[in-house]
Amino acid sequence: MPDARPKAAPEPQPDLTGRTLGDFHILRKLGTGGMGQVYLARQTSLKRDVALKLLRNELNENLTALARFEAEAQAVAKLNHPNIVHIHQIGEADGLRYMVLEYVDGRNLRDYLARKGPPDLPVTLSVMRQVALALQKAHEEGIVHRDIKPENILVTRKVEVKVTDFGLSRFFSGDVPANNLTQSGVTLGTPLYMSPEQVQGHAVDNRSDIYSFGVTCYHLLAGEPPFRGASAFDVALKHVQEQPRPLSDLRPDLPPDLCAMIHKMMAKGPDDRYQSARDVLRELVKMREAAVATTGVLATTHAGTGGGALLAADAALSLSQSGSIATVPAPAPPVRWWRGAVAGVACLFATLGGMFVSARRTPPPDAPPPPAAAAAPGPGLPDVRPPEKLTTTRERELLALLNAEGTRQEDAFKASVELGLLYLKERRLPEAADRFIKLTNKRTEWREPLGRSAYVTGRLGQAVVLAHENKAEASHKLFLEVATETVPKFPPKAPDRSAATVSWLLLRFPDLNVAVADALNRNAANLGKAKLEPALEQLRGPHRPPKKD
C-alpha cells in the first residue's frame, strides 16, 4: 500500500557562490526556478560569463526524466536565434548536474513590469515582435515552449529580447495529474499564463504557446494578468471558463486592432486563435506598415556603441528575420486610430526623455531634445537609452549621402560602414552582405589607404554576416584570411599586412569591433572550438590600442 503521508518539502540547496564546478567558477546567485538554482559563472577556458543552472537534487533521481531532458536540451541547443537564450552544454561535476546557458545582462519582463509598469507602445510592439520571432523559430523546429510567461522573457537595457526555458521543465513533471499544479512545492505550469488545453491536461501544440503569449501581452499592456484567484486552481479554472476583461477597458488609449489581436491570441479554442507565430508577425507588420503609411517614419531607439542588440522600437518590423516567410503585401489604407497613436509615437521619440514618457506630450517630432530631459527617468522599462535618431530617417540620410555626387570618399566610407552595421543590427542580412560587398569593390576605386581600409572592412562585414547566417565554416575561413592575408597596396608599393588595418578599423569603429567579436564567439560555439587561431583570438575581446614602450 503506498504511503499516503505528504512528502516533506525538499531541503534548500546551499549557496554555491565561490565554488568551482569543472570549467565554471561560480560568481553569484541569480535566482531560483522550478528546476533549480541559477548562477552567474565564469567559464575559465573561454573567459566568458555564462548562466549556470544547477538541477535540484531530487530531480537528479528521476533517471527517465533526465534522459528525456538531455534529449530535449540537445534539440533546443540547435535553436540558434538572436531572440532565444542559447544552451551551450549540459554536464555533471561533483555529483551536481548542470546546464550552461548564454548569460543575458538584463532583467526578466516580470521584474520590469513590477518596477516600472507597462512600457509605451513602440517598446511593447518591439517586445512582442521579438518574442514572436523566437516562437516561430522554435515551432518550425517542432519545439513547443509550454511555459511562456514574463519570467521567461529576458530584456536587456537596449530592449533586446531573449526567450529562455524552451520545452525543458515538462520533463520533471512525472505522472502528476493535470489538476495537480504543484509537486514538492514546485509549480509545474504557470496558471496565470496556461492555455485551457494545458490546464485540462490535453495535448498541446504551438497554439498553446500563442495563448500564453497573448496572456503575457495582456499583462505587458494592462500591468496585470487577465485572471487572478485565491489559488492556482482558481486561476486555472478561469482560463477554461471565463473571458478576460476587455483590454480596451483598461487601456482605452491602445489601438483597437492591437486589443483585438491580443484577445484573438487568448481565444479559448485553439482553432479560434492565430494558428502560428507567423500569423502574429503578419498582424504586427500590418500595424507597422499602417504607421509608416501615415507618417513616413517609425521611431526606434539608437543602438549605440554597445552593438549587437536588435533595435528597440523596430523600424524594420518585418518578417525578413525568417527566410521561410514570404514578403507581406502592403496592407489596406491605415485606419484612423493610427493617426493619434503615431503622433504620440513621433512626439515620444523626439525628446531624450521620451522612450518612456507619456504619449500625451505634443512637441513637434523634429524638435531638438531639451538638455534637461536626458536625466529624467520615465515610467517604462528601466535603464533604456533614449533614442537619438529615427532609424528609417537615418537610413535615408546615409543612402542619400552615398548616392550624392561629390561626396568625399572618407564620408562615403563612414556612411557605408554605419549602414552595413545598421542592416546587421536589424537582421537584414542580405542587405548587410550587399553593403559590405560594395565596400570591398572600392579597393581600387578609392585612394590609399582608404581603398585598403574599405576592402578589409567589407571582408570583415561579410564574415560577420556569414556567422549570423550560421555558416560557421565559411565565416571562420574568411575571418582567418582577413586577419592573416597580405593585401597589395594600390598603387603597388610594399605589401601591407591586413592585421594592421584590422586593428586600426576595430579601434575606429567600436560597433564593428563588437560585431566581429560576437561573430567569432558564435563561430567558436558552432564549430565546437574552445579557442580559435591566435590571430582570431585577439579579435574576440574588446580591441585596444597597443601599449607604447
Q: Where in the sequence numbering do the catalytic residues fall?
A: 147
Rounded CA-CA distance 145/147 in Å is 6
366 burial (CB, 10 Å; 0-12 / 13-18 / 19+) is exposed
C-alpha distances in Å from residue 133, one per residue of 34, 84, 105, 282, 449: 25, 9, 20, 11, 42
Neighbours of 45 (CB within 10 A): 10
Rounded CA-CA distance 517/508 in Å is 15
Rounded CA-CA distance 466/474 in Å is 7
Rounded CA-CA distance 526/540 in Å is 15
> How is residue 5 written as a grid cell?
503521508
> H/E element holding 461?
helix 450-468
3-state secondary structure at position 40: strand
Q: Is 477 annotated as a binding residue?
A: no
CA angle 320, 322, 328 (to 5 degrees): 45
Rounded CA-CA distance 380/378 in Å is 6
Structural contact between residues 38 and 29, judged by C-beta atoms closer than 8 angstroms: yes
> How is residue 432 written as a grid cell?
548587410
Residue ranges with strand state E in 33-166: 36-43, 48-55, 87-93, 96-102, 106-108, 153-156, 161-163
Neighbours of 282 (CB within 10 A): 16
Structural contact between residues 212 and 195, judged by C-beta atoms closer than 8 angstroms: yes
3-state secondary structure at position 54: strand
Neighbours of 375 (CB within 10 A): 8
Residue ranges with strand state E in 260-323: none
Extract the annotated binding site for ATP. Answer: 53
Extract the annotated binding site. Answer: 53
